[in-house]
Amino acid sequence: MRWLGLFALGVAHWVGAFLRGLWRSLGAGGSLVTGICLFLLMSAIYFLSTEPGRVGLTRGAFYAAEQLVDDLEIEAEGIRSEKLGFWFFERLRIDYRANTLAEAQDLEVNLNSLSRNPIDIERVGAKDLLLNLNILNELLSALVDSGEEEVEVVSEEQPSTTWELLVPGFRLAQLDIARLQLVDSRLKGIPPVAIQANAQYRWQGKPAQLFIEVSELNGSEFNLTVNGRMQGERFVIDFSTSEVGQGFVSRQLHLPENQVLDARGELSLRKQGEKLLLDINSIAAPLAEHQLDLTGRIEADINPWRLSSTGIWLRVDERRSTIKGNISADGVNGTVNLNQIPLTLSRPWQDILDSGWLSADFSVQGSLQQPNINGSLQVESSYRQQPLQLEGRVDTQAGVIDLQALSLHFAGARIEVLGTVDTNLKALDLVGEIDELGVEEIRLLAASLPQADRVVIPTALSGTLHQLRVEAIGSWKNPNLNLSLSAVSAYHDLQGELSAAISGNLHALTIDELVFTGEKLNLEVIGQLDIEQKQLDLHGQIDGKNISLRDDLGVTEAGGKSRGTSEVTVRGEWSNPQVSILLDSNGVAQDYPFNLKGEASGDMDLIEVSDLRLELFTNGNGNQFGSSSSRGPQSPVIASGFDKGEPEPLQSQSRLTALAEDAQQLGRVGVALLQADGSIEPRQDRLQIDMGARNLPLFLVDLVGLSLPNSLEGELSLDGRVDGAISNPQIKTNLIAQGEFHLEPWHLQGTLDYADRSLVTDGIELLWAGRNQLSILGSLNAERLDLELRGQGDLSDLANSFSSGRAGNGDVSLYASIGGSPKQPEFQGELRATGEALGLGQRGIQVQPLSIVLDWQTENGELDASLIAQHGGSNAVNSQVSVLIAPIFEQLFAENNQTGGLRNVPFQLQGRGTADLSVIAEYIDPRVHRMRGLLSFNVDGTGNWQRPLLTGDIELSNGRYEHRPSHTRIADINFYAQLSPEEWRIVRGSATDGDGGRINLGGAVFLPPDSSPSFDIVLSLSRAHLLNSPGVRGAISGDARLSGSTQDAEITGRFTLKPLAVQIEQWIGSSVPEIQVVEVQVDGPQVQRSSPCLAKLDWM
C-alpha cells in the first residue's frame, strides 16, 4: 500500500497548492478560470512526469477495464514506470470468468513512441508468460457480441485507404520471452517455447527486416527460424522448421514414426503501385506420409480490395493440383483442380477415411453471398476395411444447386441421389435410391457402420432388397418425405414378398403400408409415428397357416406345424409405450394337436400376462379341450388346493396327491396343459407369475434349447409360482414326473422352494426300474446348510460297463450330508459299490468280488476325499484328494455375488494316488482289454478358480496294453509329465510295439497368464505295427503336431502306412456272399460338422 500513500500525499500537496493559489487569485481579484486551468495542468504534469503518478494512472486504467468488461479481473504486483512509455510488472495476472487468461512474471514493456504512426517499440520481454487461447476466444467472442448490439448501420461511403495507412511504419527492436506456455483444448500438450524477434518497416529510411526464432524448451528440439530482408525492390522471407521424430509438431502432422521434421520455404513481396505481389517461390513440408510442394503468385489490391492469382500449384507425390482465379467484393471467379489428393493428408482433421484419394474439378462464379458452383467430385477410399467410392456432379444456377449425379458405393451397396436444392427458397427436391441389395450385402453394410454393428441379422434370413426409394420435397427445415420399399425374403423355408410405403415429414410419419405376403405367412403393419411429440400408434396383424416349427421357424428339431392369428398394438410415448399382444394359434407338434392362446398387455412399468395357455391332445381331437372334464379344478393353475389368490402353492404331501390326481384325470382324456398368469414390472425389477403344467411331454424342452437323452421319455406335471426380483426371482413349485428310461419306468416327485441364496426342499424322490432310489431333503441358505442325500440301487443298472453282457451284479449305496454354514461347511458322505464281476484269477477269467468306496468329509474348511477300488483282493485305485471348499460356499451365498461366479475364489488342492492298470483292465472287460503298469500322480494347486496354478507330476511306468480282438500290442510304455504354473510338459513319452516299431510323444501345454492356453505336442510313429489283426497288418510312420490355442487348435501332420497286408478271406470267407442293397432315406436334421481341427492331417 506504499504506492497508495505516496499517491494520496502527492494529490493532497497539489490540491493544497491549488487552493492557496485560487484563494490568492480571488483575494487579488484574479480569475477562477485561471486557477482551474492551472490545476489541470499541474495534475497532468504529476501523472505523466512522476513515477507514482504513472503507476497510479496504470492502476486506474486497469480498474476502468474491469468496469467496462464484465467478469474481467486484473491483478498486478511490483509495478514500476521509470519513464513515460516504460512499464515493468513483477507479476501480472488477468482472469476472465474466474479462469486465467494470461499470467506473466517480470514483464517489461518499453515504448519509445506512443503515436500510431510510426510505432516505435524498444523492448517487450518476460521471464515467464502463460496465455490461455480458450479463455481468449471466450473474451473476444463476448466483446464481438456486445459490439454487435451497439453497432449502428452507417451508409456513409468508406474513405479510400492506402498501404501506408493500412501498414504504418514501425520498429520492434527486441522481443524476448524466455518461456511462453500456450494452452489450447484443441491441441493437447503444447510444449513451452522461447521466442526472440525483431522487425522494422519504413523506419527512418532504413530497409525493412524481420527476424523470428522459436525454440522448444527441454523437449523434441523444435526450432522455427524466419528471416526477412530486402533484395532490390523485393522483401524476401525465408523460413525453416526442424524437429526430431515424434515431437509435438510431428505428431500433429501425423508424420511416420522416427521421421524428423524438415520444412523450408521462401516468399517474396513486392509493391507495384497500390498492389502487393506475393510470390510463393517454394514451400516444402512433410504431412502424414507425403511430401508437399507449393508454388504460385497472388496479387492483392486494397482499394477496392481484390485477390487474384494466375495459379497456385500444389504438388503431392508427383501429382499436381491447381487453384486460380480472383475474389473481390464484387464476386468470385475461380477454378479448382485437385488431382488424386491423398486422403491421408486430412488425418490432422479427420480419421474416418484413412486411405485412398480425392479428385475434384469445379468452378466457382458469382457473388460472394451466392456463388455458382459447377463441377465434379470423385473419392476412392475405404471405411472400416470396406471399399468406398463416391462420384458426383453438381451444377448451380441462380442459387439452385442441381445434383446431376451423386453415387456412393460402399460394402456392396450402391446409393444414388438426384435432385435440386434451392438456396433462395430454402427448399429441396431430392430422390435417393438403393437397388438390388442382398441380405449378405446388408450384413456386410451393418457390420461396417458404427452402432449398426450391434444389429444382429439371423443367419437363417436370406433375400434381396429390390428397391428402397426416399423422396424429400419442400422446405429444407421440414420437407415432405415419401419412402417406398420392395423386397423378397426367406427365413428358413418361410418365403414371401415385403413391401412398404411411408409418408410424412420430420415431425410425423405415417406407415401407410408395411406388408409381408407369403404362402404360409401374412404380416401387415399400419400406424403413425409422431416424432415431434415422441408418440407412436402402431397396429400389426400376423396370419399363419401350416407353418413348420422346424423347417420354417427353426425353433425345434421336433416335427410339427402351426397356424393361427396374432395381433399386436403399440401406443403411447416412445420411452414407455403401451403394448398389447393377442395370441391364438393351433397346430400339430410331433403328432400332438395343440392350441396356444393368451394375451399380454402393459408398458415398462407393468406387463400383465393373462391366461397364456398351451393345450396338447393325444387323441387327435382338438376339440377335446372344450369338454367339461377338463375345466375348473383340473386346470393347471386353478387346481384343488391351489386357488387363485392364495399366496403360494401348498408345500405338502396332500398337494402332491391332488396334483397327481389332477394329472391322471386329464391324462385319461388325452389332455396336456401348460398355463401362466401374472404380471411383470421391468422397471421395478419385479414379477409374479403363476405357472402350472399337466402331463407335459418332455420333448417340449427342445423348444427352449435343452436336450435330453434319446432313451428318456415321460411327462411332467407341476404347480408353481415365480415372484420377486426379475434378476433374482423366488421359485416355489410342486412337481410330479414319470416315464421310461432305457425301457424301465421312472417316477419323480417333490417340492422345491428357491429364493435369494436359499434352497429348501421338503423331499424330492426319484425311483427308477423299481429298485434304484434317490431322495433329497433339507435346505441351504446364507446362514445354515442342512441337506441330506440318500440313495441305493442295483450295480448292473447304474454302471453300463456291468450290463453289457458280462456276469456282474451288486449294490450301490449313497449317503451324503451338508451341514454347518457357508463360512464353515461340514460335508460327510460315502458312495459304496459292492458286488461281483469277471476278473482274471488263478484259474483264468472267473467271477471275483468287487468293491469301490469313495468317502469324503471336511476339516478346517477343506474337503478330504479318498477313493479305494478293489477287485479279487487286488487294489485297483488308491488315491486321496484335499480341496479347499469353504471360500466356494462363502462366495455362492454372498450378498454381492450377483453372478454367482467363482473367478476370484482361492483355489487350493492336494492330490496323491496310484492306480494298478492290470486291475483297472478287469473293471472294463478282461476279455477285450489287457493292461499293465503303475500310474501315479502327485499334484498341488494354488491360485484361484479362474486360473488355478498346478504343480506336480504324473508318471506311468512299466506300462503295457493289448487289444485282444485286433491283436494290437503296445509295450514298454514310459510316460512322465511335469506340471508347473507356466506349462504342463511331457518329459518322457515313449513305447514300442514288440516288432521293432516305436512311438514317441513330446511337447507341452503353455499357460500364459493373460491369454488362452496353447499347445505344442508332437506324436511320432516309426514303423509302429498298430494294425495286427488277421485281416489287416501294417506299420505306420510319420508325425502329427497339435498346435494353436484352446480357441483355435489345429492338428497338422503326415502318416505313411507301409507295408500293408490285407487278407480278404479273413473278412468274407472263401466264397463271395450275395449282397442285397437296400435304399435308405433319412428325414431329419443334417449332421453338424465338427471344427476343421484335422483339416491338415495327410494320410497316405
The 10 Å Cβ neighbour count of residue 163 is 16
**How far is the C-alpha of 457 from the C-alpha of 439, rounded, in Å?**
9
What stretches of 366-438 show up as alpha helix (H) in DSSP? none
Residues 6+ apart with CB under 8 A from 803: 796, 797
Which residues make Cβ contacts (< 8 Å) with residue 863, sequence separation at least 6?
A: 827, 856, 857, 882, 883, 884, 885
Residue among 1039, 959, 1044 nearest 1000 (CA): 1039
Per-residue model confidence (pLDDT) at position 215: 95
Please list the residues that pair with 1042 across neighbouring strands: 1017, 1051
With CA atoms as reference, report the closest residue to 405 among 854, 415, 25. 415
Residue 639 pLDDT grade (very low, low, confident, very high; cuts 50, 70, 90): very low
pLDDT at 643 over 80: no
pLDDT single digits (tens) 852-907 = 899 999 988 899 999 998 877 778 889 999 999 988 888 888 766 655 467 788 88
Helical pair 2-27 and 51-68, crossing angle rounded to 10 deg: 100
The residue ranking higher by pLDDT, 557 or 83, is 83
Average pLDDT of the segment spanning 221-250:
93
Residue 840 has pLDDT above 70, yes or no: no
Q: What is the pLDDT of residues 425-441, one digit of tens each?
A: 889 999 999 988 888 88
- What distance in Å separates the CA atoms of residue 606 and residue 134, rounded to the nearest whole number? 50
Angle at 864 between CA 862 and CA 865, to 5 degrees: 145
The predicted structure's pLDDT at residue 649: 40
Residues 327/338, Cβ–Cβ less than 8 Å: no
| Helical spans, DSSP H, in 476-584 | none
Model pLDDT, residue 1096: 44
Considering only residues 872 and 816, tell me which one the structure prediction assigns the higher pLDDT.
Answer: 816
Residue found by looking up cell 425345434 in the block: 556
Which of the 8 DSSP states describes residue 479?
-
pLDDT tens digits, residue range 316-356?
988 999 999 999 988 999 999 999 999 888 877 777 777 89
Sign of CA pseudo-dihedral 944, 946, 952, 954: positive
Strand bridging mode 400-410 / 968-979: unpaired
Determine the 3-state secondary structure of 553 from DSSP.
coil
Asked if pLDDT for residue 648 goes beyond 90, the answer is: no
Q: Residue 915: is its pLDDT beyond 60?
A: yes
Higher pLDDT, 119 or 548: 119
CB atoms closer than 10 angstroms to residue 199: 18
Instruction: Give 807's pLDDT tier (boundaries 50, 70, 90).
Output: very low
Side chain identity at 717, as an amino acid letter? S
pLDDT band at 379 (very low <50, low <70, confident <90, very high): very high
Q: How far apart are CA 735 and CA 636, in angstroms?
A: 12
Provide the pLDDT for residue 963.
Answer: 84
For residue 105, list its beta bridge partners.
91, 128
Question: What is residue 265's predicted lDDT score, i.e. its pLDDT?
Answer: 96
Report residue 1086's pLDDT band, with 50, 70 and 90 as the boundaries.
very low
Please state which of the ranges 260-264, 503-507, 621-625, 1028-1032 shows the lowest mean pLDDT. 621-625
Helices 32-49 and 2-27, axial angle in degrees (round to 10): 160
Question: Are the CB atoms for 41 and 27 separated by under 8 Å?
Answer: no
Question: How is the chain split into domains, by residue range?
Answer: 2-49, 757-965, 976-1086+1092-1099
| CA-wise closest residue to 1035 among 1067, 999, 1011, 1004 | 999
CB 120 within 8 A of CB 170: yes
Centroid of chain to Cα 458 = 19
Burial class of 66 by CB neighbour count within 10 A (0 to 12, 13 to 18, 19+): middle
Mean pLDDT is highest, among 209-218, 737-746, 928-937, for 209-218
Number of other residues whose CB lies within 10 A of the CB of residue 329: 9
Residue whose entry in the numeric block shows the C-alpha cell 462420384: 391
Over the chain, what is the mean pLDDT? 82
First to last CA, the chain: 103
Distance set, CA 1070 to CA 966, 1039, 1064, 1067 (Å): 21, 38, 9, 9
| Vertex 888 angle, CA 885 and 893, to 5° | 130
> Is it the case that residue 139 has pLDDT exceeding 50?
yes
Distance CA 425, CA 402 (A): 14
* Average pLDDT for 602-630: 67
Question: Please, are residues 773 and 767 in contact by the beta-carbon 8 Å criterion?
Answer: yes
pLDDT tens digits, 966-1006: 788 899 999 999 999 999 999 999 999 878 889 999 999 99
Alpha-carbon distances of 617 from 468, 587, 591, rounded to whole Å: 46, 11, 9
**What's the mean pLDDT in 443-469?**
79
Q: Is the model more confident about 605 or about 627?
A: 605
| pLDDT higher than 60, residue 240 | yes
Per-residue pLDDT at 881? 94
Total Cβ atoms within 10 A of residue 451: 7
Q: Tell the burial category of 475 from Cβ atoms under 10 Å away from its Cβ (0-12, 13-18, 19+).
A: middle
Dist CA 207 CA 361 (whole Å):
43
661-to-14, 566, 653, 1059 alpha-carbon distances in Å:
120, 34, 12, 71
pLDDT at 46: 55
* Close Cβ partners of 144 (under 8 Å, ≥ 6 residues apart): none
CA distances for 981 relative to 171, 546, 941, 948, angstroms: 76, 59, 9, 8
Confidence (pLDDT) at 154: 45
Burial of 299 (0-12, 13-18, 19+ CB in 10 A): middle
Range 129-135 average pLDDT: 94
Candidate from 66-80, 231-245, 687-701, 787-801 with smallest mean pLDDT: 787-801
How many angstroms separate the CA atoms of 28 and 1097, rounded?
A: 129
Cell digits of residue 1084? 431329419
At 399 the pLDDT is 83
Bond from prior residue into 118 cis (ω within 30 degrees of 0)? yes
Mean pLDDT for 249-272 is: 91
pLDDT tens for residues 266-311?
A: 999 998 887 899 999 999 999 888 999 999 999 998 888 899 999 9
